[in-house]
Each structure stands twice: as structure tokens, then as C-alpha cells.
Structure 1
Amino acid sequence: MINHNNTALLVMDLQNGFVSRFAQNEEVLHPFQKAIEAARQHKIQVIYVRVAFNEGYLEVSPRNKAFSALSKHGGMTFTDEATQIHESVKPMPGEPLVTKFRVSAFAGSNLDVLLRGLQIDTLILSGIATSGVVLSTLREAADKDYSVTVLKDACLDADPEVHRVLTEKVFPRQAEVQTVDAWTQTLS
């Protein structure tokens, strides 16, 4: 049974620029919506995480293979439409929006300080992509001694096989892996 007072649901990178890759099928967002609604009903803190940069991409090193190309093409600044949380999963008042500058939700953000301030020690992870923010955040959260659950159907990846291997073989070494339905049943 989960202690709701020390638990947070992280909704990671469900921003327009990433959700649009899966937009042809709106049903893929239903598990996220269901997890968010369950968390709200059970008074579990919902925290949104996005990646965004200052104008001029001052945070992006030319040595960073993943983000240096972005700085050449534009977009992904704080005010850019691509970095705003998707309308179907918008935060409610009291649900923080954390901005990160790398793949992990902890990288360059105030997430760890926020979690400690809220006395959170249990994280429920959801996000886009399984092989990106979810993997990186899970690894760092485990190293920081958080208890972690990954909602496998509230994680999306462009490569279904990578998603399967991560959720079936890699993630269980450091986290519980559940469906949204199985997780919500533990909340009652």
C-alpha cells in the first residue's frame, strides 16, 4: 500500500513537441490521463517535467551530441509552443512544472530540492520517451534512494522493442513496473 503523502507522480516530457510524434493516435495519451486523474483523486502530488532552454541556448554545450543540433535548428525555448505541456494533460493549480536542461528530470532542475521539500520518497514515473527521460530519471532516482514505480503503459517510445526490453528486463532491476490499472488498484 502506497503512503500517498510521500508519493509523487512525475509526468515527464508530455510537451507539445514530443506528444506530436504520437498525435496520430490520441488513445496513447489515455493511460497518462488515467494516472493523473487517479493521483489527483488520491491526493498524490502530480509534478510535471519538461525540457526547455533560454533564448540563445546558453545551457547547450557544443559537445552535447543530443542537444547541440537543436541549438542550430531553433525551437524548444521556454516560450516555444513545443515546450508547453500538452492540452490533454495540463497541470492544475498546485501541480509544479519543473524545467530541466538535459534528459534526466533531475539534470539542471530543482526537482530533487522540490521532492525533499515536499518530503517525497516515492516516485511514480510516466513519460516520453521510455529510452530517454524515463530511463535517465529512473537511474538517477534509484541512485538517490527514491522508491520508484514505472507505469509501463504511461511511457511511450518511438521503438516498441526498446520500450519492451526496458520495461521487462532493465527497469525491474531498480523499480516496480506496473500498468496504470494495476497501480490504481494499489491506491484504494
Structure 2
Amino acid sequence: MSKQALIVIDIQNEYFENGNLPLVNPVEASLNASQVIEHFRAKNLPIAHIQHLSADPQAMPIFVEGTSSAEIHENVKPLEGEKVFQKNYPNSFRETGLLEYLKENEVTEVIITGMMTHMCVDATTRAAFDFGYKCTVLGDTCASRDLEINGKIVKADDVHHAFLAALEFFYAEIKSTDQFLNGAS
């Protein structure tokens, strides 16, 4: 029998309007993620909140531990007793207890939400798949930003959809919040 867990990746103040790394549409994504969190809470299913902290704040002063920018955004704040994993790398499994937590809870399927689509959501989804989990990414609970390569700007919407399309090709099913909530048992 399948058992789901929710992974909420890095929905932190750093990615919002007054943060140092603002994304496109983070508020909308966080409000959708909040709906999914409430669904998991109502069903008493495991929720893993992921919080990115800078491994070297001197090199890049973002996600600095103890700052308001590094805090999990108020729209998705963990409740007392919900599991929070702190990480220093894009992959939420690397040097955290996430894998052990999912195993302890006999999880077979992960529902993934969070920021940034092109970085931590991508890395975590691919790792979860490699660990044998069925993966579903809720695309409208994720956000990205404009990127630049070779002097060309790639718009956030294109980045977001390109990464979701790549994940759907092999690693995950991509759904919207409504599709997930209306199809969830």
C-alpha cells in the first residue's frame, strides 16, 4: 500500500519581495503549498519542511542562519512537532536526515513543493526518484527566477516550465495543486 509524504523545500523569506534572491510569483506558490500542507495535516500524513542555510555566509550572504531572510515564510510555517530539516546543498537528502525520516514513516511516494524549481526542487526530485520513491511535483507550488547564460536572459516562466518538463519526462508526475487535491484520496 502506498503512503505519501509532503516535502516543502526552502519556502523562505529570502525568495520573497524583500529578500536577497527574489523569485517570480513566490507568494502564489507559497499559498498553493499552504493548501497542500493543510491537506497533509488533516490526513495526519508526514510533512518534511526543508530550510536552506548558507554553508559559507562569507562567500554568499544569503540564507544566513539566524536572520529573518533564512526563516521559513509565514505562509507555510511548520507547526510544533512537524519535522524541519536544515540543509546546505540543493539536494534535500544530502547530509540531512530526510531519507531516514521517510523510511521510518514507511513512505513510498513523495509530493514535492518548493523553491527554486531549477535548483533544489529539481535536485531533490531526482534524488528521491533515485532512492526509489514515486514522485509528484506540484508545479504551481514552485517558483523560479530569471537566469542568464552567455549574455542571454531566460525568463523565469521558461526556466520553471523547462525544468518541470524535464522532470516529467522521467522522474516525476507534474500536477497542479487543484489536480492533486481533487484527485487525492
1:113-124 equivalences in 2 (<5 Å): 113-124=100-111
**Rounded Cα–Cα distance in structure 2 between residues aligned with 1:41 and 1:132:** 30
| Cα distance change on mapping 1:41 and 1:144 into 2, 3 Å | same
The residue aligned with 2:99 is: 112
Q: Which digits, 9 at most, give the CA deviation of each residue in 1:41-97, with x for residues without a partner?
A: 2222111001114xxx4xx5xxxxxxxxx5335352332222211111111122111
1:23-172 equivalences in 2 (<5 Å): 26-53=27-54, 57=55, 60=56, 70-158=57-145, 159-172=156-169
The residue aligned with 1:67 is: none
User: Alignment RMSD, CA only?
Assistant: 2.1
Q: How many residues align?
A: 171
Unaligned runs of 5+ residues in structure 2 are 146-155
**Contact 1:15/1:83 (8 A) holds in 2:** yes
The residue aligned with 1:16 is: 13
Greater per-residue helix proportion? 1
**Contact 2:11/2:115 (8 A) holds in 1:** yes
**Rounded Cα–Cα distance in structure 2 between residues aligned with 1:23 and 1:133:** 16
**Contact 1:42/1:187 (8 A) holds in 2:** no
Q: TM-score, normalised by structure 1?
A: 0.82
| Cα distance change on mapping 1:26 and 1:101 into 2, 3 Å | closer
Q: C-alpha displacement at 1:25, in angstroms? A: 6.8
**Contact 1:22/1:28 (8 A) holds in 2:** no
**Contact 1:13/1:127 (8 A) holds in 2:** yes
Classify the secondary structure of the residue corresponding to 1:17: helix
Q: Which digits, 9 at most, give the CA deviation of each residue in 1:6-56, with x for residues without a partner?
A: 211111000111234148873342211111112212222111001114xxx
* Aligned pair partner of 2:4 in 4, 7, 20: 7
**Contact 2:26/2:143 (8 A) holds in 1:** no
Q: Please tell me the residue identity of whatever aligns with 2:91.
A: S
Unaligned runs of 5+ residues in structure 1 are 61-69
